[in-house]
Amino acid sequence: MQKPIMQLINEVIQKMKGYGIYQVTIPLPFWNDNVHCYLARRDGMWTIIDTAMDRNETRLAWNAAFTEYGVEPNRDVERILITHHHPDHFEYARQLQQQTGANVFLSEKEKVVAQNNLDAESFSRFYLSAGMPQELIMQLQPVNTSANKFPNNMCTIDTNRLYPIGELLFEAIQMPGHSDGHICFYNSEEQILLSGDHLTRETIPYISYHGYGNKNPLSEYLETLKQMQLMKISLVLPGHGPIFNDAQVRIKELLHHYEERIGFVLEQIIGEMSAFQVSNTLLPKRSSVLEKWIALGETNAYLSYLVGKGEIREYKDGVQNKYVRS
């Protein structure tokens, strides 16, 4: 008889504690209800993986976790590893660095992207070119302030290097798509993947383009998913949603989802359309400005992918970029 899901999850959590790895769940104000960060103990010293947003709720959650696991933050924390630069994973890193004195590690690509967000003029110009009305653009600025919250001492995560996380060694593997330099950590002996936002069980990873970084992230993401099909993964510790042990099933589901979504977006292109016009076909009529921004970023990623495949053409029409089927 198959064990109940909660029993399986509890058994996994106990197993991870045996390796010195503890999940720290921190509430978020939007999108997902929370983010999973991780604390890992090795020889009395601790590694933090991801940090959540810079909010009072985050400070309280980390202080509670330090108390629960007997961590003296100003003495026991030796490094902070960041899977990617998005605010719900990275923003509180500077505060934790000040509290612990530990160096913060981020991949080189993520540092470049996070420090080169659009200024106000470039921001407005990009979204105007996508067809978004000026009044909506004015409501959105600023969107990403991670560059203003950079820690003082930033170290680089070396891909293909082994990092001690708890009692195990994990290889840092660059898995782009959700962000340009997203890092997952993989232990080949126990086949455990610390997946960040790259692979999650209940939510669909958000693949988008907002005017900086790789313009065709969906192509990279799908290629990375296909490469992951060659990996032996027995357990996934994600940044959002439940821990799960059916990674290959989930990868197939995601590949199928994106295949269908690509076809659906292509069907929405009738005549000449801007990215914003296409994105509006994917949304309910009464959507917030933030929801419109999210949908536009996703639409940009799909349109770039379709341009790359030769399914559609992109051309300039005044200040706007327009798309038409090939």
Query: Which pLDDT score, from 0 to 100, does residue 145 have?
Result: 52
Instruction: Give the pLDDT confidence score for residue 74 in this predicted structure.
Output: 94
pLDDT tens for residues 36-55? 999 999 999 999 999 999 99
The secondary element (H helix, E strand) that includes residue 249 is helix 247-268
Task: State which residues of the chain have pLDDT below 50.
Answer: 1-2
Distance CA(204)–CA(216), nearest Å, equals 18
pLDDT of residue 2: 47
Give the dihedral sign, CA 200/297/290/286. Answer: negative
Q: How far apart are CA 135 and CA 272, in angstroms?
A: 23
Structural domains for the chain = 5-115+150-262 (3.60.15.10)
The rounded distance, in Å, linking the Cα atoms of 35 and 52 is: 7
pLDDT value for 148: 58
pTM of the predicted model as reported, rounded to 2 decimal places: 0.92
Length of the chain: 326
